[in-house]
Chains A and B, each alone.
Chain A
Amino acid sequence: MAEISGSVVKVDHGPKVRGEARFVADYPMEGILYGKTLRSDRARAKIQAINVPELPMGYVVADARDVPGKNGVLIIGDDTPVFAAETVEFVGDPIAMVAGPDEAEVERILREIEVEYEDLEPVLDMRKSEKVFYEYGYEKGEVDKAFAEADKVYEEILQTGHQEHGYLETQGITVVPLAGGKVKVHGSIQCPYYVRKALVLALGIEPGDIQVIQDVTGGGFGGKEDYPSMIGARVAVTALKAGKPVRVVYDRREDMATTSKRHPTYSVYKAAVKDGKVTAMDIDLLYNAGAYTTISMVVLQRGTICSNGVYNIPHMRAHGRSVKTNSVPNGAFRGFGAPQVFFAVEMFMAHIAKDLGVDPVAFKEAHFVKKGDKTSTNGIFHHGVPLPQMNEKLLTASDYWAKREAYASQPKGRYQRGIGMSYSFHGGGFTGTGERDIIKAVAALQKYPDGKVEILTSGTEMGQGLFTTFAKIVAKELDCPIDQIIVKLPDTDRVPDSGPTVASRSIMVVGELLRRAAAKIKAEWKDGEAQRVEERFQQPEWQIPFNYDTFQGDAYPTFSWGAHCVEIEVDTYTGEQKVIGAWACYDVGTPIDTTVVIGQMEGGFLQGIGYAHMEQMNYDKKGRIRSNSYSDYTMPTAADVPKMEMHLCVEEYPEGPFGAKGAGELPLVGVPGAYVNALEQAIDKDFCHIPVTMEDTLTHWREGGQA
């Protein structure tokens, strides 16, 4: 293991364990107004009138008419209104915001506002949607020919459900109007520059007039990528109208019922098999975007590109659509469109193997991509693919073959066991040429006369450990102790735009910029002087430019890899499922801090288990989310954490700092495939959807002809 991989105390550890860290809800409220959001209780309707009661002194209500700039939150498109103007498009769609000095009074006003609606028929089923937000497709090889020549053709429909982020700290933002029409924004934010960009449009002011600062943030998982832009715009409009600072902090029910989630999907997979191998796939994906486009474009791109999983499929066609429904807009979530397709392709491959009478592990292994192979989009796997070694490691660690065989012939009884494996990758960084053409990351180091060096990036710390790993990279390159390095919560007035803290890009892309900056500052080091160095992103020369029209080229410069094994026991009297063994092996390149990386792996793995069978987001027929609390939406608790054995395999990435590549999203992406495959073996039934609930399990077991 590289020297840098040794673990240190996290740089933000002290203030957090001592309770000194200040979250947005911790600021004293003197002089700040409480803001609350008026929301639609209809899934789709025309707004006829908003009747506001007489307001006491010091209280304001802001709605669409008060938006000084464009009534649109700029994310990728700007169709998400700051406040709904003519129509509401989902239950929870914000219509107005009430603000004032007394919280209870604000709530009273909120209750007394009457909205008159003319109901319209909502579309809640994505398959019935006629509004396509985005559509992508690509083809490689000769798909039709391969199907025509196949020994056998398979077809399956695979579905995935919503997933809620469940960050510990709910969404919250404060906006402070400053003299001269400027505003200062601070809050629970994953991407400060995204918020600034959105406010430029909504407020119609210059970027330089908007200062966005991240407060200490209690978890994001993607849920604070685009959403803070929406709250930020709403609070800013209200604060400007009130002429006073306004703070909005959601309560848990509001957060769960109205903020973004993982896109549910409905996928149709077809495969041609010849001589025991899959020669072609034809894949059709449907992503439920919800009411507005938000970030669905890129989620769909990643999903479509990754839809063949870790398998070398010489002939393939993929087609993906992201459609509108009258439900909460779905957004970014760890994995970003990939967990859905990895579940689908893993199950599909396992089902084909079963039909062919071979073990799924052997079947999948025979299709693993390797270095030099073409990717789905005719890019190249430029770097080593350690899947075979990772697989070997897990087979041994879990004793897979012996268990798989034993469980295949277990007698039918109350408790049935099964074991399953799955494989995944995650491409680090923005899809295609996004890093070069869209983000254009800049990172800087500021050296002070006393020799301390401050890291200047827009990278945010959300509990994932970024401040620590950034500091370690710089300290290592400067060959100085870590306490010589200063990292502060980003403030757009002080830091360059190094891009959003998303897409498993921060270490791989921004970390490398920092390493280079540190090398430069070291070479030019002058004792007792202030020095500043900036580094800009450059796309590796060997990367094949990605064409967004044809979906051809390198979608990602490199990949991180994952292999997972899950062993479960099912109580066939009740359908209860219990994980009795969990193993994984991940390649994230050089771990910059082993404890941080293992933390990400274990947490991601658990989130994957929750996604596979526990977490179910229920809607009623009117489009209202019923699972709006932790007691109804059951995520795993500490008591549900199985014994997890995490292994690391290191395939260094030459362009990453000390060989590191993306780690944040990978560990969740492939888990459901292993989980459900284990469940399938336990009760000898195939499943094509997640979450697989207790009720599903019991129903399938009984249909299986149990005495």
Chain B
Amino acid sequence: MVNGYAPQTLREALEIKRKEQVSPYGGGTDLMVDHHRTGTYLFLHRIAEMQEIKQDDNYLRLGAGCTFTEVQEHALTPPILKEAISRIAAPAIRNLGTIGGNIGNGSAKADSVLVFFALDAKLRLMDADGERIVPIHAFYKGRKALDLALDELIVEILLPRVIPTRYVYHKIGARAALAISRLSFAGLWNVEGGKITACSTAFGAIDQVVVRIPEVDKILIGTPVAELDSVKERYLAAAGEAINPIDGRISAHYRKTVCLNLLDDFVETMKKA
């Protein structure tokens, strides 16, 4: 027996969340791995307000209750996010798993979360009294430690309307499908008038939370594409200082080597594009 509530509206859901100890349940693909018979769940799948994908003046707004498949198939979804989702698990899990759950799980290995970090996404969190908007990097305080109050829900993921158009995405899993990231990389950039005008990178599964290195990204911004070679060494050296993975199933040394290899390739790709 599974105990829980299946509200139809966000309002109802937030009222329940205020009154009761309930675990929000998106697709259950993380929760059900360690299912406890005694748990009480707040099923979110009937809440239409959390399943929309829409655009306003500032943001592309992705409902936290959207499944991976829904996000992947939507016309407004950025290509890098589509690509990242295509490497998540397998179709059955993608049809159930939600992006809100990917964030709510609090793992640095979450594949859509990597892209949200790279895009400097913000999260819209709500409780029964109102809402607040938090940048994703501030939301993650550590592994499984989120800036989420007991009565709050993740309601939307807000992506900037304008994002860099070029990207590189690489996921290393132990096999082609149903593989948790051993290391993942997202890099985006823009070129205007022969110069790099935007650059943003993120690394997943190398530390307790997704790693961003904006101060290192900055080194490339403003550099003419033709002169990338001249800054590459400085850029990689700075990245080498900034990226310090932890040991896990695979060694810190392997992780660091691969991060730097991928950054090297990132610059080479910029040169060719």
Q: Do A and B bind each other?
A: yes
Is A168 an interface residue when CB atoms closer than 8 A count as contact?
A: no
Is B179 an interface residue when CB atoms closer than 8 A count as contact?
A: yes
A698–B257 touching, CB < 8 Å: yes
Residues in B whose Cβ lies below 8 Å from that of A574 = 170, 172, 183, 258, 261-262
Residues in B whose Cβ lies below 8 Å from that of A694 = 172, 174, 182, 250, 254
Residues in B whose Cβ lies below 8 Å from that of A438 = none
> Would you give the 0/1 interface string for A544-574, flagging 1 where the beta carbon is closer than 8 Å to chain B?
0000000000000000000000000000011
B174–A573 touching, CB < 8 Å: no
Is B132 an interface residue when CB atoms closer than 8 A count as contact?
A: no
Closest to A629 in B: B33
Known pairs A573-B262, A574-B261, A698-B257; A618 contacts B172 (CB<8 A): no
Is B90 an interface residue when CB atoms closer than 8 A count as contact?
A: yes
A interface, size bucket: 20 to 34
Query: A580 CB to closest chain B CB, in angstroms?
Result: 13
A639–B258 touching, CB < 8 Å: no
Count the B residues whose beta carbon is within 8 Å of the partner chain — how many? Answer: 23
> Would you give the 0/1 interface string for B67-93, flagging 1 where the beta carbon is closer than 8 Å to chain A?
000000000000000000000001000
Please, how many angstroms separate the alpha-carbon atoms of A104 and B177 in the complex? 34
**Taking chain B's interface residues, is the majority helix, strand, or loop, or is none over half, making it mixed?**
loop
20 contacts between A and B (CB under 8 A): A573-B262, A573-B264, A573-B265, A574-B261, A574-B262, A575-B258, A576-B172, A631-B180, A634-B174, A637-B175, A639-B178, A640-B176, A640-B177, A694-B172, A694-B182, A694-B250, A694-B254, A698-B254, A698-B257, A699-B254
Is B19 an interface residue when CB atoms closer than 8 A count as contact?
A: no
B250–A637 touching, CB < 8 Å: no
Please, how many angstroms separate the alpha-carbon atoms of A695 and B254 in the complex? 6
Query: B34 CB to closest chain A CB, in angstroms?
Result: 11
Query: B81 CB to closest chain A CB, in angstroms?
Result: 20
Is B249 an interface residue when CB atoms closer than 8 A count as contact?
A: yes
Residues in A whose Cβ lies below 8 Å from that of B174 = 614, 634, 694
Question: Which of B249, B251, B258, B262 has a CB less than 8 Å from the CB of A618?
Answer: B249
Residue numbers of B with Cβ under 8 A of A are 37, 90, 170, 172, 174-180, 182-183, 249-251, 254, 257-258, 261-262, 264-265
Please, how many angstroms separate the alpha-carbon atoms of A575 and B265 in the complex? 14
Residues in B whose Cβ lies below 8 Å from that of A634 = 174-175, 179
Residues in B whose Cβ lies below 8 Å from that of A636 = 175
A698–B175 touching, CB < 8 Å: no
Q: What 10 A-B pairs have minimum CB-CB distances, sorted nearest first?
A: A639-B177, A573-B261, A634-B174, A639-B176, A640-B176, A695-B254, A637-B177, A634-B175, A640-B175, A574-B258
Closest to B173 in A: A634
Residues in B whose Cβ lies below 8 Å from that of A637 = 90, 175-178
Please, how many angstroms separate the alpha-carbon atoms of A640 and B177 in the complex? 7
B250–A695 touching, CB < 8 Å: yes
Residues in B whose Cβ lies below 8 Å from that of A573 = 258, 261-262, 264-265
Residues in B whose Cβ lies below 8 Å from that of A640 = 175-177
Residues in B whose Cβ lies below 8 Å from that of A699 = 254
Residues in B whose Cβ lies below 8 Å from that of A401 = none
Is A148 an interface residue when CB atoms closer than 8 A count as contact?
A: no
Query: B257 CB to closest chain A CB, in angstroms?
Result: 6
Known pairs A573-B262, A695-B250; A702 contacts B257 (CB<8 A): yes
A631–B262 touching, CB < 8 Å: no
Residues in A whose Cβ lies below 8 Å from that of B178 = 630-631, 637, 639
Residues in B whose Cβ lies below 8 Å from that of A698 = 254, 257-258
Most buried by A among B90, B170, B174: B174
Using A574-B172, A574-B258, A640-B176 as known contacts, list a sample of 20 further A-B pairs with CB atoms less than 8 Å apart, ordered by residue number in A.
A573-B261, A573-B262, A574-B183, A574-B261, A575-B258, A614-B174, A618-B249, A631-B178, A632-B249, A637-B90, A637-B175, A639-B176, A639-B177, A640-B175, A694-B174, A694-B182, A695-B250, A695-B251, A695-B254, A698-B257
